[in-house]
C-alpha cells in the first residue's frame, strides 16, 4: 500500500526507521528487573517465583518463533505486527490489571508474561525479516546489526524510563495497606501496554517488504517434468543461464544484487523440493559469491542439513546467560562483608556492569554486522567465522569466573562484562544474517524458529546450574561470614553468599558446556566453507 505513494528507496528506508522503533519496543521485555521487585511484593512471591517468571518471559521469546515464524512466512509482516499488537495488549494489559488488583497467582502471571514474550518475538521477526529482504544479501549483516543494536539497548532505555519517570520514590506508603508495591509500577505497566500496542499497529501500516518484479530466467530440471526458478541477476543485469550439474538446490537462489527477485511465501510457484542446477554467466565470475548465494530451503529439509544441526547446538550451548542473569549476586560475592560501604557499592557496581553488558551488546551487534559484510564480500569467507570467534571469546570470561583465585578481581569482572556483552551481541546479530545465508528468505520465519527454539532452554539451564551451586555454597558458608555480611538474612529468608564458592563451580561447568558450543561453531564454519568451495568449483567446471 505504502509503495503506491512513495518511491522504492523512500519506502525502504522508512521501513528501516520504523523497524528500529519496533525493535526498541520488542526489547522492553528485558526491563523486567526494573519492576520485578514490586511484582514480588504485590503478590507475595518468593525469589524462586520471580526468577521463574522472568525465565518464562525469556523462554517464550525463543519458543515464540515457532508460532510467529509461520505467520510471517504465510501472511507477511503486516499480520505479524498485528499479532504482536494483540498479544502485547493481552500480555502487558493483563499484567497491569492483575497488578492493580493483586488478582491471580504465579501461574496466571506466567501466562500473561508469556503472551508479552511471544509479542516481542513477533515484532522482532517482522522488523528483522522485512528489512533484511529489502536490502541485498551483501548488507544483511549491517541491516541486522543496526536493528538488533537497538533491540539490545532497549533494556537500558526502559529501565531508565522506569527509574526516572516511574520510580515511585515520592509515594506515601501506607504501612497498613493490604497491597504492597508502588503505584508507579502499575502506571509503568499501563505505559508499556499503550505504547507497544499503538506502535505495533502503526508499524503494520507503514512498514513494508519491497516486492520486486521477476525477470525471466532459464530453468533446467534434473530429469523431471518439474521446473525450478533460479532468481539470480548479475552485475550487468543479464540473465544468468542455469546449467544441469550436480549441485542440489531448493526452489530459488538469491545472491547479493539489488536487482535480485525476492519472493514472498505465496509468490513462487510450487516446485519439486530438489533440483540440480549450477549458475553460469559467461566467463565473468567477478560478481559471484558462493557464501551469499542463499538457497530457499523448506523447513523439513533443514533436518537433513549438517549446518542446521551445528547451528542449533552452537545456539543452545551458549553459557553467557549464566553471567548475565547473575551478575548482581557475583558482585555481592566478591565484596568485603566487613566494609560498611558494601551495600552502596554493590548497587553502583551492579549498575555499572549491567551498563557495560548493554553497551557491549550494542557495539558487538553493530561491529559484527558491518565487519562480516565487508569480509564476506571482499574476501569471500563465510560469515560464520565471526560466530566461531565469538563463541571462543565467550569462553574467556567463563574461565576467568571459574578459575580465578582467591576471588575474581574488579578489573577482571569489568573485562568479563565487556566481553560477555560484545560477544553475546555479536552472536545475536550474526544469527539473523547467517540464517538467511544458509537457508534463504522464503521460509525465513519458520527456519529462524527451528534454529532458535532449543535456545529457549538456556535461561532455565543457566539459572538452574547457577542456583544449585549458589544454594550449596550458602549452606556451606562459614557462620562468621553470614554474621559479617552487610546483607545478612534478607526479608524472604535468603542469605547473601560471600566468597569464591558462590560462583566458581557453576562457571567451571559453564566453561565445559561452552566448549561444546565452540566445537559446534567450528564445525558450522567448516561445513559452510566446504559447501561454498564445492559450489564455486562446480561453477567453474560448468563454465
264/281 same-domain check? yes
Q: Are residues 238 and 313 in the same domain?
A: no
User: Is the residue at 175 inside a domain?
Assistant: no
d(CA 442, CA 302): 13
In a domain, 252, yes or no: yes
**Based on the domain organization, do 282 and 308 belong to the same domain?**
no
Of 135, 91, 79, 92, the residue nearest 445 (C-alpha): 79
Interatomic CA distance for residues 23 and 20, integer angstroms: 5
- Is position 471 within any domain? yes
pLDDT at 350: 81
- Provide the strand spans (E) within 24-119: none
Cα-based distances in Å from 293 to 238, 240, 268, 332, 466: 17, 13, 18, 50, 42
pLDDT in the model for residue 1 = 53
Q: Is residue 115 included in any domain, yes or no?
A: yes
Are 308 and 400 in a shared domain? Answer: yes
Same structural domain, 280 and 308: no
| Residues 280 and 133 reside in one and the same domain | no
Confidence at residue 97, expressed as pLDDT on a 0 to 100 scale:
93
Residues 6+ apart with CB under 8 A from 365: 144, 145, 148, 149, 151, 152, 425, 426, 428, 429
Same domain membership, residue 313 and residue 256: no
Q: What is the rounded distance in angstroms from the CA atom of residue 151 to the CA atom of residue 27?
A: 5
Do 277 and 318 belong together in one domain?
no
Check whether residue 391 and residue 434 sit in a common domain: yes
CATH number for position 161? 1.20.1250.20
Tell me the DSSP string of 49-64.
HHHHHHHHHHHHHHHT
| Domain edge (last residue) among 239, 263, 288 | 288
C-alpha cell belonging to residue 519: 566445537
Structural domain count, the chain = 3
Q: Which residues of 263-293 are buried (b: 16+ CB within 10 A; e: fewer)?
A: bbbeebeebeebbbbbbbbeeeeeebbbbbb
pLDDT tens for the chain, 543 residues: list them.
Answer: 555 667 788 888 899 999 999 999 998 887 787 788 788 888 888 767 887 888 788 788 888 888 899 999 899 899 999 999 999 999 999 999 999 888 888 889 999 999 999 999 999 999 998 998 888 877 888 888 889 888 878 877 887 888 788 877 666 665 555 667 678 888 999 999 999 999 999 999 998 887 655 444 333 333 333 333 333 333 333 333 333 333 344 334 444 444 444 444 444 444 444 433 334 333 445 556 777 765 688 888 888 888 899 998 887 765 667 787 778 888 888 887 777 777 778 778 887 888 888 888 888 888 888 898 888 888 888 889 999 999 999 899 999 998 988 888 889 999 999 999 898 888 888 888 888 888 888 888 888 888 887 777 776 777 777 878 887 888 887 766 655 554 444 444 456 788 888 888 888 988 888 898 899 999 999 988 888 888 778 777 776
My answer on whether 494 and 345 are in the same domain is yes
Domain check: are 223 and 155 in the same one? no
Shared domain check, 480 and 440: yes
Rg of the chain (C-alpha set): 25
Domain with 469 in it? 301-533
- How far is it, in rounded angstroms, from Cα 24 to Cα 147? 9
What pLDDT is stored for residue 46 in this prediction? 76
Kindly report whether the global pTM for this prediction surpasses the value 0.85. Answer: no
- Of 23, 31, 151, the closest CA to residue 81 belongs to 23
Amino acid at each position: 500500500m505504502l509503495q503506491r505513494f512513495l518511491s522504492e528507496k523512500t519506502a525502504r528506508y522508512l521501513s528501516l526507521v520504523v523497524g528500529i522503533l519496533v525493535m526498541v519496543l520488542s526489547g522492553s521485555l528485558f526491563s523486567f528487573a526494573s519492576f520485578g521487585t514490586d511484582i514480588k511484593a504485590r503478590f507475595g512471591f518468593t525469589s524462586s517465583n520471580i526468577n521463574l517468571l522472568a525465565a518464562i518471559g525469556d523462554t517464550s521469546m525463543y519458543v515464540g518463533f515457532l508460532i510467529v515464524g509461520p505467520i510471517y512466512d504465510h501472511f507477511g509482516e503486516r499480520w505479524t505486527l498485528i499479532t504482536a499488537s494483540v498479544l502485547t495488549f493481552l500480555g502487558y494489559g493483563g499484567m497491569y490489571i492483575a497488578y492493580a488488583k493483586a488478582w491471580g497467582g504465579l501461574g496466571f502471571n506466567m501466562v500473561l508474561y508469556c503472551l508479552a514474550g511471544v509479542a516481542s518475538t513477533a515484532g522482532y521477526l517482522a522488523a528483522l525479516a522485512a528489512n533484511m529482504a529489502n536490502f541485498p544479501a551483501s548488507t544483511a549483516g549491517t541491516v541486522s546489526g543496526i536493528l538488533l543494536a537497538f533491540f539490545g539497548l532497549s533494556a537500558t532505555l526502559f529501565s531508565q524510563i522506569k527509574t526516572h519517570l516511574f520510580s515511585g520514590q515520592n509515594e506515601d506508603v501506607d504501612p497498613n495497606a493490604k497491597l504492597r508495591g508502588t503505584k508507579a509500577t502499575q502506571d509503568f505497566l499501563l505505559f508499556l501496554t499503550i505504547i507497544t500496542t499503538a506502535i505495533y499497529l502503526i508499524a503494520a501500516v507503514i512498514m513494508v517488504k519491497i516486492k520486486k518484479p521477476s525477470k525471466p530466467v532459464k530453468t533446467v530440471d534434473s530429469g523431471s517434468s518439474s521446473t525450478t526458478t533460479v532468481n539470480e541477476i548479475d552485475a550487468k543485469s543479464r540473465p544468468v543461464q542455469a546449467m544441469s550439474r550436480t549441485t542440489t538446490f531448493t526452489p530459488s537462489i538469491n545472491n547479493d544484487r539489488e536487482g535480485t527477485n525476492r519472493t514472498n511465501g505465496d509468490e513462487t510457484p510450487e516446485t519439486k523440493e530438489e533440483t540440480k542446477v549450477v549458475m553460469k554467466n559467461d566467463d565473468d565470475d567477478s560478481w559471484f559469491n558462493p557464501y551469499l548465494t542463499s538457497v530457499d530451503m523448506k523447513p523439513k529439509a533443514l533436518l537433513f542439513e549438517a549446518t542446521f544441526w551445528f547451528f542449533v547446538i552452537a545456539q543452545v550451548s551458549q553459557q553467557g546467560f549464566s553471567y548475565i542473569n547473575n551478575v548482581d549476586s557475583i558482585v555481592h560475592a566478591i565484596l568485603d562483608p566487613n566494609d560498611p560501604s558494601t551495600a552502596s557499592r554493590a548497587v553502583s557496581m551492579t549498575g555499572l556492569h549491567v551498563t557495560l553488558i548493554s553497551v557491549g551488546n550494542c557495539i558487538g551487534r553493530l561491529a559484527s554486522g558491518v565487519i562480516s559484510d565487508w569480509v564476506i564480500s571482499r574476501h569471500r569467507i563465510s560469515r560464520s567465522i565471526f560466530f566461531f570467534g565469538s563463541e571462543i571469546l565467550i569462553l574467556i570470561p567463563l574461565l576467568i569466573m571459574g578459575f580465578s583465585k582467591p576471588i575474581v578481581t574488579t578489573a577482571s569482572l569489568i573485562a568479563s562484562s565487556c566481553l560477555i556483552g560484545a560477544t553475546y551481541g555479536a552472536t545475536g546479530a550474526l544469527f539473523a544474517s547467517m540464517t538467511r545465508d544458509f537457508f534463504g528468505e522464503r521460509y525465513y520465519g519458520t527456519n529462524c524458529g527451528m534454529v532458535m527454539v532449543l535456545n529457549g532452554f538456556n535461561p532455565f539451564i543457566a539459572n538452574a546450574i547457577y542456583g544449585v551451586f549458589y544454594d550449596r555454597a550458602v549452606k556451606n558458608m562459614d557462620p562468621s561470614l553470614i554474621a559479617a555480611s552487610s546483607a545478612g538474612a534478607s526479608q524472604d529468608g535468603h542469605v547473601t553468599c560471600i566468597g569464591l564458592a558462590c560462583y566458581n563451580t557453576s562457571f567451571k561447568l559453564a566453561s565445559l558446556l561452552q566448549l561444546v558450543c565452540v566445537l559446534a561453531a567450528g564445525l558450522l564454519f567448516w561445513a559452510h566453507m566446504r559447501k561454498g568451495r564445492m559450489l564455486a568449483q562446480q561453477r567453474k567446471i560448468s563454465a
